[in-house]
Protein backbone atom coordinates (compact mmCIF):
# COMPACT_ATOMS: atom_id res chain seq x y z
CA UNK A 1 0.00 0.00 0.00
CA UNK A 2 1.28 3.48 -0.88
CA UNK A 3 1.33 5.68 2.23
CA UNK A 4 1.37 9.39 2.88
CA UNK A 5 0.79 12.03 5.56
CA UNK A 6 -2.55 13.42 6.64
CA UNK A 7 -2.71 17.19 6.19
CA UNK A 8 -1.98 19.33 3.16
CA UNK A 9 0.95 18.91 0.80
CA UNK A 10 1.59 20.06 -2.75
CA UNK A 11 2.66 18.50 -6.03
CA UNK A 12 5.43 20.61 -7.61
CA UNK A 13 7.06 19.25 -10.78
CA UNK A 14 9.83 17.00 -9.46
CA UNK A 15 12.39 17.97 -12.15
CA UNK A 16 14.67 15.03 -11.34
CA UNK A 17 16.65 15.82 -14.48
CA UNK A 18 19.93 14.52 -13.08
CA UNK A 19 18.50 11.14 -12.00
CA UNK A 20 20.30 9.15 -14.71
CA UNK A 21 23.72 10.67 -13.98
CA UNK A 22 25.86 8.09 -12.15
CA UNK A 23 27.95 9.41 -9.25
CA UNK A 24 31.30 10.80 -10.46
CA UNK A 25 34.23 11.45 -8.13
CA UNK A 26 35.74 14.94 -8.15
CA UNK A 27 39.52 14.74 -7.78
CA UNK A 28 40.62 17.37 -5.24
CA UNK A 29 42.92 20.17 -6.40
CA UNK A 30 43.82 23.74 -5.48
CA UNK A 31 42.59 24.71 -2.04
CA UNK A 32 39.81 23.50 0.25
CA UNK A 33 38.21 25.64 2.98
CA UNK A 34 36.70 23.55 5.76
CA UNK A 35 34.40 25.35 8.19
CA UNK A 36 34.68 24.64 11.92
CA UNK A 37 30.92 25.04 12.17
CA UNK A 38 29.04 23.03 9.60
CA UNK A 39 26.64 21.34 11.99
CA UNK A 40 24.06 22.36 14.59
CA UNK A 41 25.82 23.02 17.91
CA UNK A 42 29.16 24.41 19.00
CA UNK A 43 31.88 24.96 16.36
CA UNK A 44 34.73 22.44 16.54
CA UNK A 45 38.13 23.46 17.98
CA UNK A 46 41.15 23.23 15.63
CA UNK A 47 43.85 20.71 16.53
CA UNK A 48 46.15 21.71 13.65
CA UNK A 49 48.06 24.93 13.00
CA UNK A 50 49.39 26.82 10.02
CA UNK A 51 52.16 24.87 8.29
CA UNK A 52 51.00 21.43 9.47
CA UNK A 53 50.93 18.60 6.94
CA UNK A 54 47.67 16.61 6.95
CA UNK A 55 46.37 13.45 5.32
CA UNK A 56 42.87 12.60 4.06
CA UNK A 57 40.76 11.54 7.04
CA UNK A 58 43.01 13.10 9.70
CA UNK A 59 41.25 14.85 12.59
CA UNK A 60 41.77 18.62 12.17
CA UNK A 61 39.17 19.97 14.63
CA UNK A 62 37.66 18.39 17.73
CA UNK A 63 34.00 18.56 18.75
CA UNK A 64 33.54 21.24 21.44
CA UNK A 65 30.96 19.47 23.59
CA UNK A 66 28.26 16.85 23.14
CA UNK A 67 26.25 18.82 20.54
CA UNK A 68 29.14 19.39 18.16
CA UNK A 69 31.01 17.32 15.58
CA UNK A 70 34.61 16.39 14.80
CA UNK A 71 36.02 17.67 11.53
CA UNK A 72 38.51 15.70 9.42
CA UNK A 73 40.68 16.79 6.56
CA UNK A 74 39.09 15.98 3.21
CA UNK A 75 42.43 16.25 1.38
CA UNK A 76 46.13 15.76 1.91
CA UNK A 77 48.34 18.83 1.91
CA UNK A 78 49.46 21.78 4.01
CA UNK A 79 47.35 23.90 6.35
CA UNK A 80 47.96 27.42 4.99
CA UNK A 81 45.71 29.35 7.36
CA UNK A 82 42.86 29.30 9.87
CA UNK A 83 40.78 32.32 9.10
CA UNK A 84 37.32 33.77 8.52
CA UNK A 85 35.73 32.68 5.23
CA UNK A 86 32.31 33.49 3.81
CA UNK A 87 29.81 30.64 3.51
CA UNK A 88 27.16 30.48 0.76
CA UNK A 89 24.99 32.99 2.63
CA UNK A 90 27.94 35.38 2.87
CA UNK A 91 28.27 34.77 6.64
CA UNK A 92 31.90 34.77 7.76
CA UNK A 93 32.89 31.72 9.79
CA UNK A 94 36.21 30.29 10.88
CA UNK A 95 37.66 27.77 8.44
CA UNK A 96 40.78 25.66 8.09
CA UNK A 97 42.34 26.33 4.69
CA UNK A 98 44.38 23.52 3.18
CA UNK A 99 46.49 23.56 0.01
CA UNK A 100 46.00 20.24 -1.76
CA UNK A 101 49.17 18.17 -2.28
CA UNK A 102 48.63 14.69 -3.71
CA UNK A 103 45.97 12.41 -2.25
CA UNK A 104 47.45 10.59 0.72
CA UNK A 105 44.94 8.88 3.02
CA UNK A 106 45.23 7.80 6.65
CA UNK A 107 46.47 4.19 6.71
CA UNK A 108 43.58 2.90 8.84
CA UNK A 109 40.86 3.78 6.28
CA UNK A 110 39.75 0.74 4.24
CA UNK A 111 39.60 1.97 0.62
CA UNK A 112 39.07 -1.47 -0.95
CA UNK A 113 35.88 -2.34 -2.86
CA UNK A 114 34.97 -5.22 -0.55
CA UNK A 115 31.79 -4.82 1.49
CA UNK A 116 32.25 -6.16 5.04
CA UNK A 117 28.92 -7.30 6.51
CA UNK A 118 29.58 -8.53 10.04
CA UNK A 119 28.83 -5.82 12.60
CA UNK A 120 31.37 -6.51 15.36
CA UNK A 121 30.95 -3.35 17.47
CA UNK A 122 28.56 -3.11 20.43
CA UNK A 123 25.83 -0.42 20.50
CA UNK A 124 28.00 1.79 22.71
CA UNK A 125 31.05 1.34 20.46
CA UNK A 126 28.95 2.22 17.39
CA UNK A 127 27.83 5.49 18.98
CA UNK A 128 31.43 6.33 19.88
CA UNK A 129 32.59 5.53 16.35
CA UNK A 130 29.84 7.66 14.79
CA UNK A 131 30.76 10.59 17.06
CA UNK A 132 34.49 10.16 16.38
CA UNK A 133 33.83 10.11 12.62
CA UNK A 134 32.13 13.53 12.68
CA UNK A 135 28.86 12.26 11.21
CA UNK A 136 26.01 14.73 10.86
CA UNK A 137 22.54 14.34 9.36
CA UNK A 138 22.76 14.64 5.61
CA UNK A 139 19.10 15.47 5.13
CA UNK A 140 19.60 19.21 5.59
CA UNK A 141 19.78 20.25 9.26
CA UNK A 142 23.26 18.73 9.87
CA UNK A 143 22.45 17.66 13.42
CA UNK A 144 25.32 15.59 14.89
CA UNK A 145 24.27 11.96 14.30
CA UNK A 146 25.47 10.62 17.67
CA UNK A 147 23.17 13.11 19.43
CA UNK A 148 20.15 11.99 17.39
CA UNK A 149 21.01 8.37 18.22
CA UNK A 150 21.26 8.96 21.98
CA UNK A 151 17.79 8.10 23.28
CA UNK A 152 17.09 10.34 26.32
CA UNK A 153 16.36 8.71 29.69
CA UNK A 154 12.67 7.90 30.08
CA UNK A 155 12.11 7.62 26.31
CA UNK A 156 12.05 4.43 24.23
CA UNK A 157 12.86 3.98 20.57
CA UNK A 158 10.60 1.41 18.92
CA UNK A 159 11.32 2.04 15.25
CA UNK A 160 14.10 3.39 13.12
CA UNK A 161 12.81 5.31 10.13
CA UNK A 162 15.07 5.99 7.17
CA UNK A 163 14.17 9.08 5.21
CA UNK A 164 14.69 8.19 1.56
CA UNK A 165 11.75 10.23 0.27
CA UNK A 166 13.93 12.88 -1.42
CA UNK A 167 10.78 14.89 -2.06
CA UNK A 168 12.59 18.16 -2.86
CA UNK A 169 12.42 18.85 -6.60
CA UNK A 170 15.71 18.48 -8.55
CA UNK A 171 17.63 16.56 -5.85
CA UNK A 172 18.90 13.13 -6.89
CA UNK A 173 21.89 12.43 -4.63
CA UNK A 174 19.97 10.08 -2.30
CA UNK A 175 18.47 8.31 -5.31
CA UNK A 176 21.91 7.62 -6.78
CA UNK A 177 23.22 6.40 -3.40
CA UNK A 178 20.31 3.94 -3.17
CA UNK A 179 20.92 2.68 -6.70
CA UNK A 180 24.70 2.47 -6.54
CA UNK A 181 25.25 1.58 -2.87
CA UNK A 182 22.09 -0.28 -1.86
CA UNK A 183 23.90 -2.99 0.05
CA UNK A 184 26.07 -0.53 2.01
CA UNK A 185 22.89 1.43 2.87
CA UNK A 186 21.22 -1.77 4.17
CA UNK A 187 24.27 -2.57 6.33
CA UNK A 188 24.26 1.04 7.58
CA UNK A 189 20.61 0.60 8.59
CA UNK A 190 21.45 -2.61 10.49
CA UNK A 191 24.20 -0.71 12.31
CA UNK A 192 21.77 2.11 13.22
CA UNK A 193 19.20 -0.44 14.45
CA UNK A 194 21.82 -2.01 16.69
CA UNK A 195 22.90 1.41 18.01
CA UNK A 196 19.40 2.30 19.24
CA UNK A 197 18.32 -1.27 20.09
CA UNK A 198 15.33 -1.67 17.74
CA UNK A 199 14.42 -4.69 15.63
CA UNK A 200 12.43 -2.91 12.92
CA UNK A 201 13.43 -0.22 10.43
CA UNK A 202 11.22 1.35 7.79
CA UNK A 203 12.70 2.97 4.70
CA UNK A 204 10.28 5.52 3.22
CA UNK A 205 10.84 6.09 -0.52
CA UNK A 206 8.58 8.13 -2.83
CA UNK A 207 7.09 6.07 -5.65
CA UNK A 208 8.77 8.23 -8.29
CA UNK A 209 11.93 6.18 -7.59
CA UNK A 210 10.82 2.66 -8.61
CA UNK A 211 14.37 1.52 -9.44
CA UNK A 212 15.57 2.44 -5.92
CA UNK A 213 12.58 0.70 -4.33
CA UNK A 214 13.29 -2.45 -6.40
CA UNK A 215 17.01 -2.37 -5.54
CA UNK A 216 16.40 -2.08 -1.79
CA UNK A 217 13.56 -4.64 -1.87
CA UNK A 218 15.88 -7.16 -3.54
CA UNK A 219 18.02 -7.09 -0.38
CA UNK A 220 15.36 -7.31 2.35
CA UNK A 221 15.50 -11.13 2.48
CA UNK A 222 19.19 -10.93 3.39
CA UNK A 223 18.89 -7.94 5.73
CA UNK A 224 16.08 -8.89 8.13
CA UNK A 225 13.90 -6.39 9.93
CA UNK A 226 13.98 -3.75 7.20
CA UNK A 227 10.77 -2.87 5.37
CA UNK A 228 10.74 -0.64 2.29
CA UNK A 229 7.66 1.61 2.41
CA UNK A 230 6.52 3.19 -0.88
CA UNK A 231 5.26 6.73 -0.29
CA UNK A 232 3.00 8.89 -2.40
CA UNK A 233 4.83 11.58 -4.37
CA UNK A 234 3.77 14.58 -2.36
CA UNK A 235 5.82 17.44 -0.97
CA UNK A 236 6.97 17.61 1.92
CA UNK A 237 6.81 13.82 2.25
CA UNK A 238 10.38 13.85 3.62
CA UNK A 239 9.54 16.24 6.49
CA UNK A 240 10.33 14.27 9.67
CA UNK A 241 6.85 14.62 11.15
CA UNK A 242 5.16 13.87 7.82
CA UNK A 243 7.33 10.81 7.30
CA UNK A 244 6.60 9.45 10.78
CA UNK A 245 2.86 9.93 10.22
CA UNK A 246 2.99 8.25 6.81
CA UNK A 247 5.02 5.25 7.95
CA UNK A 248 3.73 4.59 11.48
CA UNK A 249 0.48 6.61 11.64
CA UNK A 250 1.88 8.26 14.79
CA UNK A 251 1.90 12.00 15.47
CA UNK A 252 4.81 13.91 16.98
CA UNK A 253 3.24 16.32 19.50
CA UNK A 254 3.58 20.10 19.03
CA UNK A 255 7.09 21.13 20.07
CA UNK A 256 8.07 17.45 20.38
CA UNK A 257 10.74 15.29 18.79
CA UNK A 258 10.49 12.01 16.79
CA UNK A 259 11.44 10.09 19.94
CA UNK A 260 8.19 11.33 21.53
CA UNK A 261 6.49 9.12 18.94
CA UNK A 262 8.88 6.21 19.69
CA UNK A 263 10.90 6.79 16.53
CA UNK A 264 14.40 7.82 15.48
CA UNK A 265 14.71 9.24 11.95
CA UNK A 266 17.87 9.32 9.84
CA UNK A 267 18.48 10.19 6.22
CA UNK A 268 19.47 7.46 3.75
CA UNK A 269 22.72 9.32 3.01
CA UNK A 270 23.49 9.22 6.71
CA UNK A 271 22.92 5.42 6.72
CA UNK A 272 25.55 5.17 3.98
CA UNK A 273 28.03 7.33 5.90
CA UNK A 274 27.38 5.25 9.04
CA UNK A 275 28.37 2.16 7.02
CA UNK A 276 31.55 3.90 5.84
CA UNK A 277 32.47 5.07 9.34
CA UNK A 278 31.81 1.80 11.18
CA UNK A 279 32.83 -0.78 8.55
CA UNK A 280 35.54 1.11 6.62
CA UNK A 281 36.81 3.48 9.31
CA UNK A 282 36.16 6.44 6.98
CA UNK A 283 35.13 9.72 8.62
CA UNK A 284 32.74 12.13 6.91
CA UNK A 285 35.06 13.80 4.40
CA UNK A 286 32.93 13.75 1.27
CA UNK A 287 29.32 13.64 0.16
CA UNK A 288 27.24 13.36 -3.02
CA UNK A 289 26.16 16.75 -4.40
CA UNK A 290 23.62 17.10 -7.20
CA UNK A 291 24.66 19.91 -9.55
CA UNK A 292 21.64 20.71 -11.65
CA UNK A 293 19.44 23.24 -13.42
CA UNK A 294 17.37 23.27 -16.59
CA UNK A 295 19.83 25.51 -18.45
CA UNK A 296 23.02 23.67 -17.59
CA UNK A 297 24.60 21.82 -20.50
CA UNK A 298 25.14 18.75 -18.25
CA UNK A 299 23.78 17.85 -14.81
CA UNK A 300 25.72 15.64 -12.48
CA UNK A 301 25.79 13.82 -9.16
CA UNK A 302 29.29 14.41 -7.86
CA UNK A 303 31.16 12.83 -4.96
CA UNK A 304 32.78 15.97 -3.57
CA UNK A 305 35.36 16.42 -0.81
CA UNK A 306 34.10 18.72 1.95
CA UNK A 307 35.40 22.27 1.44
CA UNK A 308 35.60 22.15 -2.36
CA UNK A 309 34.81 25.56 -3.90
CA UNK A 310 31.56 25.55 -5.86
CA UNK A 311 33.48 27.18 -8.74
CA UNK A 312 35.15 23.76 -9.24
CA UNK A 313 31.74 22.08 -9.58
CA UNK A 314 30.65 24.84 -11.97
CA UNK A 315 33.68 24.13 -14.20
CA UNK A 316 32.75 20.45 -14.32
CA UNK A 317 29.20 21.19 -15.56
CA UNK A 318 30.43 23.61 -18.24
CA UNK A 319 30.09 26.97 -16.48
CA UNK A 320 27.19 29.07 -15.23
CA UNK A 321 24.52 29.60 -17.93
CA UNK A 322 24.15 33.26 -18.99
CA UNK A 323 20.55 33.68 -17.89
CA UNK A 324 21.10 32.36 -14.34
CA UNK A 325 18.98 34.33 -11.88
CA UNK A 326 19.76 32.45 -8.68
CA UNK A 327 22.19 29.85 -7.39
CA UNK A 328 20.62 27.80 -4.62
CA UNK A 329 22.37 25.55 -2.10
CA UNK A 330 19.83 22.72 -1.72
CA UNK A 331 16.50 22.38 -3.49
CA UNK A 332 14.11 25.10 -4.70
CA UNK A 333 11.66 24.65 -1.80
CA UNK A 334 13.89 24.53 1.29
CA UNK A 335 17.30 25.51 -0.07
CA UNK A 336 18.85 28.93 0.42
CA UNK A 337 19.81 31.34 -2.36
CA UNK A 338 23.58 31.78 -2.31
CA UNK A 339 24.96 35.30 -2.08
CA UNK A 340 28.47 33.85 -2.40
CA UNK A 341 28.34 31.25 -5.17
CA UNK A 342 32.05 30.50 -4.75
CA UNK A 343 31.54 29.24 -1.21
CA UNK A 344 33.01 25.87 -0.24
CA UNK A 345 30.73 22.83 0.07
CA UNK A 346 29.89 21.58 3.55
CA UNK A 347 29.12 18.13 4.95
CA UNK A 348 25.38 18.57 4.39
CA UNK A 349 25.47 20.28 0.97
CA UNK A 350 23.03 18.15 -1.00
CA UNK A 351 22.74 20.19 -4.19
CA UNK A 352 23.75 23.29 -6.07
CA UNK A 353 20.86 24.41 -8.27
CA UNK A 354 21.10 27.01 -11.03
CA UNK A 355 17.76 28.67 -11.67
CA UNK A 356 17.10 30.90 -14.66
CA UNK A 357 15.95 34.52 -14.35
CA UNK A 358 12.49 33.40 -15.35
CA UNK A 359 12.28 30.56 -12.80
CA UNK A 360 13.61 32.64 -9.92
CA UNK A 361 11.62 35.81 -10.64
CA UNK A 362 9.62 36.87 -7.58
CA UNK A 363 6.16 37.91 -8.75
CA UNK A 364 4.57 41.09 -7.38
CA UNK A 365 2.25 40.28 -4.50
CA UNK A 366 -1.22 41.69 -4.01
CA UNK A 367 -3.77 41.63 -1.19
CA UNK A 368 -4.95 38.35 0.29
CA UNK A 369 -8.11 37.17 -1.46
CA UNK A 370 -9.06 34.87 1.47
CA UNK A 371 -9.09 31.75 -0.67
CA UNK A 372 -7.65 29.58 2.18
CA UNK A 373 -5.42 27.64 -0.19
CA UNK A 374 -2.47 28.23 2.12
CA UNK A 375 -4.43 26.57 4.92
CA UNK A 376 -5.41 23.57 2.83
CA UNK A 377 -1.79 22.81 1.78
CA UNK A 378 -0.08 23.35 5.15
CA UNK A 379 1.26 19.95 6.31
CA UNK A 380 1.34 21.20 9.91
CA UNK A 381 -2.33 22.19 9.88
CA UNK A 382 -1.47 25.87 10.50
CA UNK A 383 -3.17 29.00 9.19
CA UNK A 384 -0.41 30.76 7.22
CA UNK A 385 -2.52 33.79 6.19
CA UNK A 386 -3.23 34.45 9.91
CA UNK A 387 0.41 33.94 10.94
CA UNK A 388 1.41 36.46 8.27
CA UNK A 389 -1.09 38.99 9.60
CA UNK A 390 0.15 38.48 13.18
CA UNK A 391 3.77 38.92 12.07
CA UNK A 392 2.87 42.19 10.36
CA UNK A 393 1.30 43.35 13.62
CA UNK A 394 4.33 42.04 15.58
CA UNK A 395 1.86 40.17 17.78
CA UNK A 396 4.16 37.29 18.62
CA UNK A 397 2.25 36.20 21.76
CA UNK A 398 -0.70 35.49 19.49
CA UNK A 399 1.63 33.87 16.92
CA UNK A 400 2.70 31.45 19.66
CA UNK A 401 -0.93 30.63 20.47
CA UNK A 402 -1.35 29.86 16.77
CA UNK A 403 1.68 27.52 16.80
CA UNK A 404 4.01 29.52 14.54
CA UNK A 405 6.89 27.51 16.10
CA UNK A 406 5.48 24.31 14.51
CA UNK A 407 6.12 25.62 10.99
CA UNK A 408 8.61 23.34 9.24
CA UNK A 409 9.45 26.06 6.68
CA UNK A 410 8.43 23.84 3.76
CA UNK A 411 7.22 26.81 1.71
CA UNK A 412 4.05 25.05 0.51
CA UNK A 413 1.87 28.00 1.55
CA UNK A 414 3.89 30.60 -0.38
CA UNK A 415 4.16 28.24 -3.37
CA UNK A 416 0.41 27.91 -3.62
CA UNK A 417 -0.72 31.48 -2.79
CA UNK A 418 -2.47 33.03 -5.83
CA UNK A 419 -1.74 36.51 -4.44
CA UNK A 420 2.02 35.70 -4.49
CA UNK A 421 2.39 36.70 -0.84
CA UNK A 422 5.81 35.63 0.53
CA UNK A 423 4.12 33.95 3.49
CA UNK A 424 7.18 32.02 4.61
CA UNK A 425 9.25 35.21 5.04
CA UNK A 426 6.70 36.49 7.56
CA UNK A 427 6.29 33.12 9.28
CA UNK A 428 10.06 32.68 9.67
CA UNK A 429 10.16 36.01 11.47
CA UNK A 430 7.31 34.92 13.78
CA UNK A 431 8.99 31.60 14.43
CA UNK A 432 12.25 33.25 15.46
CA UNK A 433 10.43 35.64 17.80
CA UNK A 434 8.25 32.89 19.31
CA UNK A 435 11.30 30.72 19.96
CA UNK A 436 12.95 33.71 21.70
CA UNK A 437 9.84 34.16 23.89
CA UNK A 438 9.88 30.46 24.78
CA UNK A 439 13.62 30.52 25.60
CA UNK A 440 13.23 33.62 27.80
CA UNK A 441 10.34 31.99 29.64
CA UNK A 442 12.50 28.93 30.44
S1 LIG B 1 5.97 26.93 5.44
FE2 LIG B 1 5.09 26.57 7.48
S3 LIG B 1 3.11 27.56 7.44
FE4 LIG B 1 3.76 27.36 5.30
S5 LIG B 1 2.87 25.42 4.63
FE6 LIG B 1 4.92 24.93 5.39
S7 LIG B 1 4.61 24.38 7.55
FE8 LIG B 1 2.75 25.45 6.86
S1 LIG C 1 -3.38 31.47 -0.17
FE2 LIG C 1 -2.75 33.64 -0.22
S3 LIG C 1 -4.57 34.69 -0.92
FE4 LIG C 1 -5.26 32.65 -0.28
S5 LIG C 1 -5.84 32.91 1.89
FE6 LIG C 1 -3.71 32.28 1.88
S7 LIG C 1 -2.58 34.23 1.96
FE8 LIG C 1 -4.65 34.73 1.30
pLDDT digits (tens, 9 = 90+) for 33-80: 999 998 889 999 999 999 999 999 999 999 998 899 999 999 999 999
Q: How far is the CA of 235 from the centre of ligand 2 (A)?
A: 19
Pocket test for ligand 1, best of 241, 252, 380 (most atoms within 8 A of CB): 380
For residue 193, is pLDDT > 70?
A: yes
* Ligand index nearest the alpha carbon of residue 411: 1
Label residue 139 by pLDDT band (50, 70, 90).
low
* Ligand index nearest the alpha carbon of residue 422: 2
Q: For the chain, which residues make up each domain, given as ranges?
A: 1-26+109-359, 373-441
For residue 154, is pLDDT > 80?
A: yes
Q: Is 286 helix (H, G, I), strand (E, B) or coil?
A: strand
Mean pLDDT score of the chain: 95
Residue 362 has what pLDDT?
A: 84
Measure Cα distances from 168 to 101, 164, 329, 399, 414 in Å. Answer: 37, 11, 12, 28, 15
For residue 442, is pLDDT > 80?
A: no
Q: Does residue 182 have its Cβ closer than 6 Å to ligand 1?
A: no
For residue 341, is pLDDT > 80?
A: no
Q: Does residue 382 have its Cβ closer than 6 Å to ligand 1?
A: yes
Label residue 215 by pLDDT band (50, 70, 90).
very high
Q: Is 265 helix (H, G, I), strand (E, B) or coil?
A: strand
Residue 176 in contact with residue 144, Cβ under 8 Å?
no
* Ligand index nearest the alpha carbon of residue 387: 1
Residue 147's nearest CA partner among 308, 264, 268, 2 is 264
Q: Does residue 419 have its Cβ closer than 6 Å to ligand 2?
A: yes
Q: How far is the CA of 375 from the centre of ligand 1 (A)?
A: 9
The Cα 266–Cα 247 span in angstroms is: 14
Length of the chain: 442
User: How much is the average pLDDT of 187-214?
Assistant: 97
The residue with greater pLDDT, 98 or 437, is 98
Give the CATH superfamily of 1-26+109-359.
NADH-ubiquinone oxidoreductase 51kDa subunit (3.40.50.11540)
For residue 226, is pLDDT > 70?
A: yes
For residue 388, is pLDDT > 80?
A: yes
Q: Does residue 421 have its Cβ closer than 6 Å to ligand 2?
A: yes
Amino acid sequence: MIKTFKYGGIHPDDNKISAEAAIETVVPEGVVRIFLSQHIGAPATPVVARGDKVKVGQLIAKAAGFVSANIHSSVSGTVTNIDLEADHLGIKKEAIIIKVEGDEWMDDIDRSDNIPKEIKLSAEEILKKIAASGLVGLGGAAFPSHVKLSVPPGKTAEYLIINAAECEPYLTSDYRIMLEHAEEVMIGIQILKKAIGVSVAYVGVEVNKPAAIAELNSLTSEYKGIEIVPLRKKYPQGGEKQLIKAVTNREVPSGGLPIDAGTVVHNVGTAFSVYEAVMKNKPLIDNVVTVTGKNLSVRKNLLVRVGTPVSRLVEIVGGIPENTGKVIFGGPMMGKAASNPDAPTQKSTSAVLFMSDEESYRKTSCACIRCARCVSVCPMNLEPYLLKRLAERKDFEESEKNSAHDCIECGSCAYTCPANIPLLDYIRLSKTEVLKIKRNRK
